[in-house]
Each structure stands twice: as C-alpha cells, then as structure tokens.
Amino acid sequence: MYQSMNLSFSFNFNHRSFLKPRLCSGISATRPPKSLHFKFNPSCASSAPKSDDSSLSDKLISLLKAVPNWSDGIKERRMQQKRTLYSHENWVRHRSSLRHLRHVSSSTSSRVILSLIPPVCFFTTVAILIASYNSAVGLGWLPDYFPVLRASPLPYQLTAPALALLLVFRTEASYSRFEQGRKAWAKIINGTNDLARLVISSVRHGSADELLIKDSLLRYIAAFPVALKCHVIYGSDIASDLQNVIDADDLSLILQSKHRPRCIIQFISQSLQLLNLDSSKIDMLESKMMQLQEGIGVCEQLMGIPIPLSYTRLTSRFLVLWHLTLPVILWDDCHWNVVPATFISAASLFCIEEVGVLIEEPFSMLALDELCAMVASNIDEAVESEKVISNRIIKKKRFHEIKHSSNGWHKP
C-alpha cells in the first residue's frame, strides 16, 4: 500500500505553482496507475469545516462587539458636535443650584456614561457569576472539591493608593494637554486678529491692484484658523467651510495641498511681498505669521504625540485586574452585595479614566467653529469701520486746527 501510494506534503510557493490547477484530491491523468501521487492541500481538505468555524466565530465576535460598537458610535458622534462659547446666560445656568438635578437627569444622554456601558456591564456580570458560584458551593449544590472563591482584602488595601495615583496622574496629564491646546488656539486667534489689524492699518491707500491684494490677503487670514481647525478635527469638511471665505480657484489649490494650513500661510506670505510696504512693516507682519506657525506646531504635536501609551495601558490593565478580583476579595464581607459594590466601583473608576481619555485630545472639546466665525466677523467689522473711524479722526483734527490759531491763541 505504501509502495503504490505516495503522499506528498509539499508546499510549492513559486511562480509556477499559481499557474497550475490545484486538486484537493484525485488522480493525475498523465501518470500511470502504478504510482499514484496525491497532492495534499490542507486549505482544500479543511475548507468546509473551517468556513463553518470561521462563520460561527465571526458571528460570535460581532455579537460581543455589538454593544461596544454602539456606545463608541454614539460617543464619536457626540465628539463631532460643535461646541459653543459661553455667554453670561450660560454662566448663570452653569452656577445654578439646580445644576446637580439637571446633570443627573441628563445622564442617559452623556457620552461618558454611554461609553461606560460595556466595561461596567462586563464586570457586573463577572460579579454575578462569582456570587452565584460561591452561593452554589455554600449550599452544597456542587461537589466538595469545588472551593469557595475568597481572598484576603489586604492586597487591595495596599494597592488602592497606587490605583488612585495612576488615575490622578492620568487625568492631570490629560488636562494639561487640554490647557496647552486652549492656550495654543488663544495665541492663534490673537495672532490672526493682530495680523488682520496691521494689514488694514498699513494698506489704507494705494492702487487698485494693492487694494485687490489687500482684500485677498484678509480673506486668506480669515481662512487660516478654519483650515487649521479642519486639520486637527476629524470629519471636518474644509471645502464647505471655506467656500464662502476665499475664491474658488484658491480653494481648489488649497484642497490639493497635503498641508492646507501651511498652504494658506504661503498665500499670506506671497501676498505680503506684493504689497508696497516698508521693510519694518513687513518684518512686523512676518513676526505675526511666526506666531501662526508656532500654533500649527503645537497643534500637530498634541495630535501626533499622546500620553505615553505604556502609562495608558498600565492604568487600563490595573483597572481590569482590580475589578475582576474585587468580587473574590469582598465575598466574605459582602456576599451578594459584591454585585452592587462592583457596579459602583467600576462606574466611578472607569468614569474617571474615560474623562481623562476624552480630554486627552483637546480640540474636539473647544468651540473652534465659533472662534473661527468670530475671527471672520472681526475682520469684516474692522474693514467696514475703517473708513468711518478714519473720517471721524480727520474731522476732529481739522476742527482742532480751525479752532486754534497757528500761534497757539484760541480764536474768539
């Protein structure tokens, strides 16, 4: 039998093997019946059961991921909502004594609480299973060799300060990133307003070409924070945001650029060189542009460099191990109360960690859309009021010259 049949377990991954037809089992027609060569192909031999197993595993994985995907989808949609700047009415409502009732009543719509549903439900289920097992062992429903899952609470008492320090450092590091992002955008908005003010005051009179360049330059300045906002916020549509700010041909060139904020910086720089200005004014305007460049660098660092991943993973693993063993530690003292205790502990501690993760990326928490709209509104208002203010100042100057004589005596 072994002499008449040769089983060849060979895997040929050369170029010719892909050009030849594969047979899962069978006899080659060109060979004599004495030497039967079977080409064993594991992928063909186990194709049917493997597909069934893979389909079952895929369905199981999709079923287990249904709730996390649902909560993550809600959280990401809430992250893309536009934030608003606070007004006096918002601060009054923020300080209201009814804020606690309002916050509790809106818990079902909180993205932080919705994102906690998967971990909290998982650890609560683990607590229920452990409590059910220990109760079954205590009631004698299981054989005697099944032990009760219990442990001393001393390790938890020793490691609780370490967990507290981990969470505190996590939230403090995330808030420092949020503060850096807020300060960076404050400098960007101030630099944009100052640059527009200097352009308006420097180019008051000139040829038709200079006035046209001035108008385009102010449009580029108003477009810069919008482009930077779209650069740092996921899902932004820069084409729709800039279609009413700059011309269509300039917008098409900006959309083709790999780095759109720096492309607008180039537009601003080239426009400044075309203006007939003194070197001192050009240097002053270039210094304001350096402030915008620094803002780009800070925003890209915050986007590209998160909190060290080793620390984030350590905090997550510590929280998971803590709550997996919490029902075992608390069983002797709480019994079935380990279920609500685990639920409260997981909800509170994972909530703190989730807030730290959310504010780690600060730009979605800032009202960048309103800040960009405020810059455009300030530029439009400055352009409209330029002539009115200059005419009033000229009238006051002329009135002062007419009212006083050349030798300083007041005219009667």
- pLDDT tens-digit map of 43-71: 344 444 445 667 777 766 776 677 677 66
- The phi, psi pair for 222, rounded to 5°, reads -70, -25
| 151 closest CA partner among 313, 321, 317 | 321
- 252 shares a domain with 366: yes
Cα 346 to Cα 349: distance, rounded to the nearest angstrom? 5
- 165 shares a domain with 25: no
Give me the pLDDT at residue 12, please: 37
Quick check: 130 and 149 in contact, CB under 8 A? yes
Q: Which residue has the higher pLDDT, 111 or 338?
A: 338
Percent of the chain having pLDDT more than 70?
A: 78
- 30 shares a domain with 172: no
Q: Considering the domain boundaries, does residue 396 fall inside one?
A: no
Q: How many domains does the chain have?
A: 2
Q: Which residue has the higher pLDDT, 315 or 283?
A: 315
- Residue 20 structural domain: 5-42
Q: Considering the domain boundaries, does residue 31 fall inside one?
A: yes
Across 381-406, average pLDDT: 75
Averaged pLDDT of the chain: 81
Q: Considering the domain boundaries, does residue 294 fall inside one?
A: yes
- 190 shares a domain with 329: yes
Q: Considering the domain boundaries, does residue 164 fall inside one?
A: yes
Query: Quick one: pLDDT band at residue 313, thresholds 50, 70, 90?
Result: very high
**What is the total residue count of the chain?**
412
Give me the pLDDT at residue 405, please: 54
Quick check: 264 and 188 in contact, CB under 8 A? no
Give me the pLDDT at residue 309, please: 92
- 134 shares a domain with 10: no
Query: Quick one: pLDDT band at residue 273, thresholds 50, 70, 90?
Result: confident
Cα 284 to Cα 187: distance, rounded to the nearest angstrom? 16
Give me the pLDDT at residue 7, please: 34
pLDDT exceeds cutoff 60 at 20:
no
Q: Considering the domain boundaries, does residue 184 fall inside one?
A: yes
Cα 86 to Cα 129: distance, rounded to the nearest angstrom? 47
3-state SS of the chain?
A: CCCCEEEECCCCCCHHHHHCCCCCCCCCCCCCCCCEEEECCHHHHCHHHHHHHHHHHHHHHHHHCHHHHHHHHHHHHHHCCCCCCCCHHHHHHHCCCCHHHHHHHCHHHCHHHHHCHHHHHHHHHHHHHHHHHHHHHHCCCCCCCCCCCCCCCHHHHHHHHHHHHHHHHHHHHHHHHHHHHHHHHHHHHHHHHHHHHHHHHHCCCCCHHHHHHHHHHHHHHHHHHHHHHHHHCCCCCHHHHHCCCCCHHHHHHHHHCCCHHHHHHHHHHHHHHHCCCCHHHHHHHHHHHHHHHHHHHHHHHHHHCCCCHHHHHHHHHHHHHHHHHHHHHHHHHHHHHHHHHHHHHHHHHHHHHHHHHHHHCHHHHCCHHHHHHHHHHHHHHHHHHHHHHHHHHHHHHHHHHHHECCCCCECC
Within 10 angstroms of residue 315's Cβ, the number of other Cβ atoms is: 21
User: The tokens of 202 are what?
Assistant: 């420097």
pLDDT exceeds cutoff 50 at 10:
no
Give me the pLDDT at residue 70, please: 65
- 169 shares a domain with 23: no
| 331 closest CA partner among 90, 57, 142, 147 | 147
| Residue 147: partners with Cβ closer than 8 Å, 6 or more residues away | 137
∠ at Cα 296 (294, 299), nearest 5°? 110
- 229 shares a domain with 374: yes
Give me the pLDDT at residue 398, please: 74
Query: Quick one: pLDDT band at residue 114, thresholds 50, 70, 90?
Result: confident
Tally of CA atoms within 13 A in the half-sphere of 310 that contains its CB: 0
Alpha-carbon distance values, 310 to 21, 159, 173, 318, 319 (Å) = 49, 19, 14, 12, 14
Alpha-carbon distance values, 185 to 27, 189, 233, 254, 364 (Å) = 74, 6, 13, 21, 12
Q: Which residue has the tokens 């200059």?
A: 390
- 215 shares a domain with 123: yes
Give me the pLDDT at residue 206, please: 67
- Please report how the helices 279-304 and 208-232 are oriented relative to each other, as an axis angle in degrees rounded to 10: 20
- 32 shares a domain with 169: no
Within 10 angstroms of residue 167's Cβ, the number of other Cβ atoms is: 19
- 31 shares a domain with 166: no
Q: Considering the domain boundaries, does residue 272 fall inside one?
A: yes
Q: Considering the domain boundaries, does residue 10 fall inside one?
A: yes
User: The tokens of 44 are what?
Assistant: 């063909």
Q: Considering the domain boundaries, does residue 379 fall inside one?
A: yes
Cα 325 to Cα 123: distance, rounded to the nearest angstrom? 10
Query: Quick one: pLDDT band at residue 78, thresholds 50, 70, 90?
Result: low
- 310 shares a domain with 223: yes
Percent of the chain having pLDDT more than 90?
A: 46
